[in-house]
Amino acid sequence: MIRYLSFRLLLALPALWLILTMVFILAHIVPGDPVAQMLGEGARADDLQQLRHTLGLDLPLPVQYGRYLAGIAHGNLGESFRFQQPVLQVVISHYPATLELAFVALLVCTGIGIPAGLFAAQRRGTSTDHAIGVFTLFGLSVPNFALGPVLILVFSVILGWLPVSGRGGLAHVILPAFTLGAALAAILTRMVRTSVIEELSSDYVRTARAKGLSESAVLFRHAFRNALIPIITILGLQFGTLLAGTIVTESIFSWPGIGRLAVQAIGARDYPLLQGCILLIAVSYVFVNLLTDLVYALVDPRVRFE
């Protein structure tokens, strides 16, 4: 197990390095001067040059890149231009909000996707199955940036049931979590339906039915249990997608997480903060995929790590 984990982590290092390199290059080639934004349009040329020298932005890009990688190796992500604080401190303070939103969105996704997929598989070819298919098509067709404003208009403006934006109690997280989890619920529904239908046509299911087991026992104790491996795979990938997909949803609902922080960093040309946000999201994605592999062995004893 330890060898397997170490091997997976080593394989993840080149991917993380590539992500960091691409973000560094893209952040620096985008038009805009962070120093001019910090001091304003009326700043003197000498003040601009002095601040640029203080921040190290007057150095050649290869030198800045080398310093950035050296800082990461020592656990130093730099200092945010906008907040004047260490980047690690800023991103860690916003990370719990993103995790909260992603976990609730995953609960929404599984709470809708798994029952709907099982229901559609059990009633394959019926009107219920077709209705669930229409629901999944709708979920896949409507993007977050369109669904979010519609939910705000209906449930916040017209009905007044839920708050428009911000982070607070359970009421604040419902709309952004549903916005984030709706499309993934549609994907999970189709995955569960397909996997369970495949298992229901297996020989061991026919044997279980021949023994007189009830349809619910066949569905849950046999078919669904053996279909868990692909379902866990898609759930692991979806949780990583949720962490990355919060950028749009957090901006719509003014949710104080990593996604909204990344958008603010882009607007302020805050290179260290943007790179820190992307690094945290990438590391989280790698960790979730690794955790998904470990869950395989718990769910299915046939899975072994060599």
Quick: pLDDT tens for 87-100: 889 999 999 998 89
Which of these, 215, 7, 12, lies nearest to 121 by C-alpha position? Answer: 215
Residue 34 has pLDDT above 80, yes or no: no
| Average model confidence (pLDDT) across the chain | 81
Radius of gyration of the chain (CA): 24
Which of these, 265, 208, 241, lies nearest to 23 by C-alpha position? Answer: 265
Backbone angles phi, psi at 61, to 5 degrees: -60, -40
Task: Render 111-139 in DSSP notation, one character per residue.
Answer: HHHHHHHHHHHHTTTSHHHHHHHHHHHHH
Three-state secondary-structure class, residue 293: helix
Q: Quote the pLDDT of residue 9.
A: 73
Per domain, the residue ranges of the chain are 34-76, 87-299
User: What is the per-residue pLDDT across 1-14, written as a single tens digit (0 to 9) for each?
Assistant: 667 667 777 777 88
User: What is the per-residue pLDDT across 115-130, written as a single tens digit (0 to 9) for each?
Assistant: 888 888 888 888 888 8
pTM for this model (two decimals): 0.79
Query: To which CATH superfamily is domain 87-299 assigned?
Result: MetI-like (1.10.3720.10)
Mean pLDDT of 161-179: 86
Residue 45 has pLDDT above 80, yes or no: no
* 163 vs 291 pLDDT, higher one: 163
Q: List C-alpha distances in Å: 68 to 64, 75, 234, 275, 280.
A: 6, 10, 34, 10, 15
Q: Quote the pLDDT of residue 245.
A: 66
